[in-house]
């Protein structure tokens, strides 16, 4: 057991220490503010923010973990051991020249997203507006890296400490915005789609629509059998997020009562984890979330605990509070549409901290690293360039024993039109991620 001397215990301090020392390093910890208890403890120990005798391991602190307000913070960046750090500490006795725990809290709480910032057309926090992008560490899981730095310090001081580190995992996730391109959408939408294609004089699309609807051609979005075969071949378990919204401008899923769609969801649930994909509309009308979760629960015949926002619509803390109120315990939205990388600078699942209420929660956030649409539609990379970028990210995650979580769509596995050549990207990603 590791004893930590602190000037006072706060929710932020507990959260940061639990995140780094327990979740990422697997240690058992205990806090005290009593110097005599600290000095009499014969096992591993260190002081944080409290100077004792020089013979004890000491980490200087900043103010962040000892306050409850949200205020503008001017980060002071500098290089340490070849990497970028911030929250500098000038005390020469400190084992580190920066407050590692405060820095980890700042990043994982998404502190900057509570401050005034510019949003994109979907009212989302911009990756390009983040400190991580502007200072060049968006594609580095700093929290994981720093935790291993701390491990080395603790291990050099206390040989008997038993570290239980996270093990690298590959968890592919698939968003099902529309299970089918043309079929099972209802007669009105089917006829409307044909007329729109005719107006554009896209006769190839008209022919494909008709052939699919009469059963002469496979629906291009129906790539699920292919996905299942890959899962069996490479021995991984995917997680699917299903859009069960009412039809709307940004929610064009298959009708939730369509029996073929419901059968597909039930089949997927036999081979994968299933979660809800809360609609775009639910971001402005939160009551819809309960309806959509109930639809999925009825199909699965079990409770729904996993979620990822459609369009990655995430506003802190409101989105997560709405999910908690609907008994969601795991969310997979923490990432950017605009750029790949680590939105919270971590590649390990971790609990959401509600900064407004200054309280930790039981909602576990699963950060994803890269999205298909980011590489193709936002960054305009070729399939070859995308593969190189994905490989770089996988290597970063493997180095720190994190979880590599890509976000893909069934519709981008068609190998047609704008996705021509991208099926190979997916295959190569899987092979690299599983170590083949």
**Predicted pLDDT at 392:** 98
Sign of dihedral through CA atoms 406, 413, 416, 247? negative
Distances (CA, A) of 58 to 94, 101, 157, 288: 5, 13, 11, 50
**Predicted pLDDT at 216:** 81
Rounded to whole angstroms, how far apart are CA atoms 125 and 105?
19
- Token representation of residue 413: 């596995």
For 4, the 3-state DSSP assignment is strand
**Predicted pLDDT at 213:** 81
**Predicted pLDDT at 206:** 74
**Predicted pLDDT at 436:** 57
Closest CA to 26 of 6, 1, 43, 59: 1
Distances (CA, A) of 7 to 34, 167, 187, 353: 9, 34, 68, 22
Rounded to whole angstroms, how far apart are CA atoms 76 and 74?
6
Rounded to whole angstroms, how far apart are CA atoms 228 and 237?
9
Residue 347: beta bridge partners? none
Local mean pLDDT, 10-residue blocks, the chain (436 residues): 97 98 98 96 96 94 96 96 95 96 98 95 96 98 98 96 96 97 81 74 76 84 95 96 96 94 97 97 96 98 98 97 98 98 98 98 98 98 98 98 98 94 97 88
Distances (CA, A) of 269 to 266, 274, 295: 5, 6, 15
């Amino acid at each position: 057991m590791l004893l930590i001397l602190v000037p006072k215990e706060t929710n932020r301090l507990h959260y940061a220490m639990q995140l780094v020392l327990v979740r990422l390093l697997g240690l058992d910890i205990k806090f005290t503010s009593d110097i005599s208890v600290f000095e009499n403890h014969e096992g591993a120990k260190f002081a944080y923010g409290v100077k004792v005798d020089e013979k004890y391991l000491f980490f200087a602190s900043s103010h962040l973990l000892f306050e409850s307000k949200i205020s503008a913070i001017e980060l002071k960046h500098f290089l340490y051991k070849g990497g970028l750090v911030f929250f500098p500490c000038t005390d020469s006795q400190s084992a580190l020249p920066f407050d590692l725990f405060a820095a980890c809290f700042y990043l994982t709480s998404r502190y900057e997203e509570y401050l005034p910032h510019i949003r994109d057309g979907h009212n989302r926090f911009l990756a390009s507006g983040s400190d991580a992008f502007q200072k060049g560490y968006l594609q580095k899981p700093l929290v994981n890296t720093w935790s291993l730095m701390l491990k080395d310090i603790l291990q050099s001081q206390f040989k008997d400490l038993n570290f239980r580190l996270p093990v690298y995992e590959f968890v592919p996730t698939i968003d099902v915005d529309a299970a089918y391109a043309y079929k099972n959408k209802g007669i009105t939408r089917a006829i409307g789609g044909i007329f729109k294609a005719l107006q554009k004089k896209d006769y190839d699309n008209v022919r494909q629509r008709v052939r699919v609807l009469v059963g002469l051609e496979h629906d291009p979005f129906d790539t699920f059998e292919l996905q299942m075969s890959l899962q069996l071949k490479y021995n991984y378990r995917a997680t699917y997020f299903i859009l069960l919204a009412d039809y709307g401008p940004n929610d064009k899923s298959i009708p939730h009562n369509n029996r073929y769609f419901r059968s597909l969801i039930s089949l997927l649930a036999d081979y994968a984890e299933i979660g809800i994909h809360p609609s775009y509309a639910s971001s402005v009308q939160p009551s819809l979330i309960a309806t959509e979760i109930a639809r999925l629960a009825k199909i699965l015949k079990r409770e729904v605990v996993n979620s990822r926002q459609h369009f990655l619509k995430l506003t802190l803390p409101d989105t997560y509070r709405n999910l908690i109120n609907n008994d969601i315990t795991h969310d997979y939205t923490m990432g950017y549409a605009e750029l790949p990388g680590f939105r919270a600078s971590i590649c390990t699942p971790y609990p959401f901290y509600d900064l407004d209420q200054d309280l930790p929660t039981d909602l576990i956030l699963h950060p994803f690293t890269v999205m298909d649409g980011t590489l193709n539609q936002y960054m305009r990379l070729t399939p070859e360039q995308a593969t190189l970028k994905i490989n770089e990210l996988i290597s970063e995650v493997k180095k720190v024993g994190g979880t590599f979580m890509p976000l893909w769509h069934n519709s981008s596995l068609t190998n047609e039109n704008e996705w021509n050549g991208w099926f190979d990207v997916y295959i190569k990603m899987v092979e690299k991620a599983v170590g083949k």
